[in-house]
Amino acid sequence: MTEVIATNQTILVVGGGISGLTAALEAAETGKQVVLVEKRPYVGGRVTQLYKYFPKLCYPTCGLEINQRRAKMNPNLTILTMAEVTDIQGEAGNYTASVKLSPRYVNDNCTGCGDCGKAVTAEFDDEYNYGMGKRKGAYLPHRMAHPQQYVIDPAIIGTDDAEKAKAACKVNAVDLDMQEETVSFKAGAVVWATGWQPYDANKIQPYGYDRFSNVITNVEFERMADPNGPTGGKILRADGSPAKNIAFIQCAGSRDKNHLLHCSRICCMATLKQTHYVQEALGDEGKSTIYYIDIRAIDRFEEFYQTVRENPNVSFIKSKVASIVENRANGNPVLKGVDTEGYHRYENEHDLVVLAVGMQPSVDKASFPVDIVINEEGFIEPASENGGIFAAGCSSDALDVNRAVQQATGAALRAIQVVNRVAGTEG
Amino acid sequence: MSDLNTAMTERYRSSFLKEVEANVEEGEWVKMCMQCGVCAGSCPLGNAWEHTPQKLFMMIRAGKREAVLSSDAMWMCTSCYNCIARCPRGLPITHIMHGLAHYAKRLGLSPKNQPTQQFAQIFWDNLMKKGRVNELKLGLSMYFKDGFGQGIKNAMANQKLGQNMMKAKRMSAMELFGGHSIKDTSGLQKMIKKAQEIEDAKIQGNS
Ligand SMILES: Cc1cc2nc3c(=O)[nH]c(=O)nc-3n(C[C@H](O)[C@H](O)[C@H](O)COP(=O)(O)OP(=O)(O)OC[C@H]3O[C@@H](n4cnc5c(N)ncnc54)[C@H](O)[C@@H]3O)c2cc1C
Ligand code: SF4
Ligand code: SF4
Ligand code: SF4
Ligand code: SF4
């Protein structure tokens, strides 16, 4: 049985992405007891799936490593992975949370040696790479995963593979008898940091993501550009041939009453960043064309934008693409629309199309454990009705990492104020 | 120039957008257009017309009053609703197109020989007589709108269609003699006249 020691002065953080991790660390480092609940087998969230960060083009792993070290060193922080909050009862200063823990089938003895992974044979779609590429049934979710602890896919439990994994482990870390369990504990305040998910590109019917194999999304492109990713950093078409003439379609599913109402705010910068990936992978052979309504490189990002503007291998077409058809002969996507600067009709063929899909908040109002104020875009509002529950990062708005982290620090402060009040009345 | 047109030009001298907002059906939506181009790119008319909705909306904002109102663009709209379904801003584009056409016609600025407009007029006149459309007379008026010779040619070319319509009882040769009507034709005519007076008063009030 997993035991969680907590009181009504404990802060519960739901979601261990960069925002939740930041809020948890900030609170724990002021001496508060913090329990972090993360659904995935590892912390870091979606930034672990990015190749590089704008605007500095540095590696997300760098900042994450610092956070992971802070987490390891802090005795006030308890991290529960493969865990989901199923219920919250009570009010500010006195909540009781129920958390469901899914079995990992690997215990804390795991050294991350990888022998179990080598021993098993069954393969599954690799969710870390958005289904591009495969992983084994005993796996480390990604190279830099924290904790560095293997996971056994429940699908191999009861098969030969499970026994092979167990036999391969020299330190007795594989425990095939682990069961799902639910733990309940107290908390004074809650930071909600469940982040975002890429808008479902299948819903943007005219772009044919579901029909054309050379139409992909920006999150997939991040994985493709990563030398440790499924293509080894090569920018490839579905048939494995190199893509050189790449189109980026902005606002794919954002700023649209048929999809997400809001501007997702990061996708212009993500695309500008991704033209650097094209340049890096292909040099002058790689051409990027950005189809946009307007480029939103907010405040200090203007310079980043201007640098990309000056790159002769990047072109800009001011137009929201109306539709994509496929050239049957070569599988090329053909983009159709009208250029706003001059109102010329175009039909442009590209090797590969990257849809700059937006951020959909991962806040499910229907199954939210308590009443909460959510705006028409699906983000949590900073409302007094929310009591001691505070949104952090992309649960509160479409934010880049810098802004998400700032916002998460603010949420941690609000949570600290609540538990301080509890301490004041009790102490 | 019609009197109404002169009055409207006077009143909205500084802003054609305001004129459209006040007088064109759904005109207040025009300013919501973000010039993304999806309507233009989704319209089945493609290259066939002078100005796409996107361009018309920009022209309205740029004050190109003459060019917009005398254009045949909005008369070409087939009401397929592609643009409305796709517009990210939810503009009722089809309605604005028809609203613009209607307003241009009221001001006497619409292009004289535009066939959709001619058809609309013929249809209206036909409907007003009996309160129901007389398909036979409507067809004949369309065929003969460009003169007798062209009319015979048109009628011959569409002979098959006419015959099929008669077979399917969608049209009757007897329609040539009077034709079917509603019970109270004069009542309908009075109602329409009243509606027109209200409309006129509204637009005069704006002028
Ligand atoms: C294509 C693309 C490129 C980008 N590039 C950059 C960039 O270069 N620079 C930059 O600054 N920003 C970039 N961003 C934005 C960046 O990804 C976000 O700012 C960041 O991920 C926000 O972190 P978060 O913690 O708020 O959310 P997330 O990363 O989504 O983390 C949320 C965490 O909560 C967990 N979770 C979800 N639901 C539950 C639940 N019910 N219970 C428990 N846990 C749950 C998730 O598993 C996840 O670990 C990019 C975004 C995109 C789409
Ligand atoms: S479970 Fe055992 S075999 Fe697998 S990585 Fe961990 S220590 Fe190695
Ligand atoms: S950031 Fe750019 S691409 Fe993303 S929704 Fe806003 S305008 Fe569109
Ligand atoms: S689709 Fe809508 S917002 Fe876009 S140009 Fe047309 S009218 Fe304007
Ligand atoms: S409704 Fe009219 S303007 Fe709109 S797409 Fe169809 S034809 Fe074009």
Q: What is the pLDDT of residues B60-119, one digit of tens each?
A: 999 999 999 999 999 999 999 999 999 999 999 999 999 999 999 999 999 988 888 888
Residues of A in contact with B90 (CB under 8 A): 257
Please give the structure tokens belonging to residue A69: 């070290």
In a domain, A315, yes or no: yes
What average pLDDT does the segment B20-39 reach?
A: 96
- Extract the runs of DSSP E, i.e. beta strands, from A15-70: 34-37
A303-331, pLDDT tens digit by residue? 999 999 999 999 999 999 999 999 999 99
In a domain, A223, yes or no: yes
Closest chain B residue to the Cα of A343, Cα to Cα: B55
Specify the CATH number for the domain of residue A230. 3.50.50.60
The CA distance from A16 to B28, in Å, is 46
- Same structural domain, A354 and A387: no
Overall fold of domain B2-110: Fumarate Reductase Iron-sulfur Protein; Chain B, domain 2 (1.10.1060)
> Does the pLDDT of residue B170 top 80, yes or no?
no
- Same structural domain, A280 and A414: no
Provide the shortest C-alpha distance from residue B11 to chain A (in Å). Answer: 31
- Same structural domain, A157 and A87: no
Minimal Cβ distance to A338: which of B40, B85, B87: B40
- Same structural domain, A399 and A305: no
Q: Which residue is associated with the tokens 């995963």?
A: A145
Q: Which pLDDT value is given to residue B14?
A: 74
CB contact under 8 A, A256 and B46: no
- Same structural domain, A331 and A377: no
A341-361, pLDDT tens digit by residue? 999 999 999 999 999 999 999
Please report how the helices B185-206 and B3-11 are oriented relative to each other, as an axis angle in degrees rounded to 10: 30
- Same structural domain, A163 and A185: no
Q: Which pLDDT value is given to residue A1?
A: 65
Higher pLDDT, A378 or B125: A378
CB contact under 8 A, B37 and A319: yes
In a domain, A174, yes or no: no
Ramachandran quadrant class, A305 (left: phi over 0; alpha: psi -120 to 50; beta: rest)? alpha
> Does the pLDDT of residue B207 top 70, yes or no?
no
Please give the structure tokens belonging to residue A335: 């983009």
Query: Which ligand neighbours the alpha carbon of B55 most closely?
Result: 4
- Residue B157 C-beta-side C-alpha neighbours within 13 Å: 11
Domain of A284? 199-359
- What number is the ipTM of this complex? 0.88
Whether B140 and chain A come into contact, CB under 8 Å, resolves to: no
Question: Which of A334, A359, A384 marks a domain boundary?
Answer: A359
Q: Which pLDDT value is given to residue A199?
A: 98
> Does the pLDDT of residue B136 top 80, yes or no?
no
- Same structural domain, A320 and A207: yes
How many distinct structural domains can be found in chain A? 3
Q: Any residues with CB less than 8 A from the CB of A353 and at least 6 apart, and which?
A: A207, A212, A214, A215, A216, A246, A247, A248, A249, A324, A333, A335
- Same structural domain, A234 and A332: yes
Residues of B in contact with A347 (CB under 8 A): none
Which residue's CA is minimally distant from atom 4 of ligand 2? A116
Whether B94 and chain A come into contact, CB under 8 Å, resolves to: no
> Does the pLDDT of residue B142 top 90, yes or no?
no
> Does the pLDDT of residue B196 top 60, yes or no?
yes
- Same structural domain, A187 and A224: no
A220-258, pLDDT tens digit by residue? 999 999 999 999 999 999 999 999 999 999 999 999 999
| Range(s) of chain B covered by CATH 1.10.1060.10 | 2-110
> Does the pLDDT of residue A187 top 80, yes or no?
yes
The band of B147, judged by pLDDT with boundaries at 50, 70 and 90, is confident
- Same structural domain, A229 and A282: yes
* AA identity, residue B13: R
Please give the structure tokens belonging to residue A70: 């802070």
Ligand 3 probe mutation, A199, A265, A317, most atoms within 8 A of CB: A265
Q: Which pLDDT value is given to residue B182?
A: 82
- Give me ligand 5 centre to Cα A223, in Å: 40
In a domain, A106, yes or no: no
In a domain, A5, yes or no: no
Task: Look at strands A323-327 and A332-339 and give their pairing.
Answer: antiparallel
Determine the Cα angle at A199 with ends A193 and A201, to 5°.
160
* AA identity, residue B16: F
Best mutation site among A205, A317, A338 for testing chain B: the one with the most B CBs within 10 Å?
A: A338
Question: Which of A339, A359, A379 marks a domain boundary?
Answer: A359
Residue ranges in A226-289 assigned as alpha helix (H): 267-282
Are A326 and A366 in contact by the 8 Å Cβ rule? The answer is no
Q: Could you tell me what percent of chain A has a pLDDT over 90? A: 93
- Same structural domain, A49 and A188: yes
The band of B1, judged by pLDDT with boundaries at 50, 70 and 90, is low
Across all residues in chain A, what is the average pLDDT? 96
- Same structural domain, A385 and A351: no
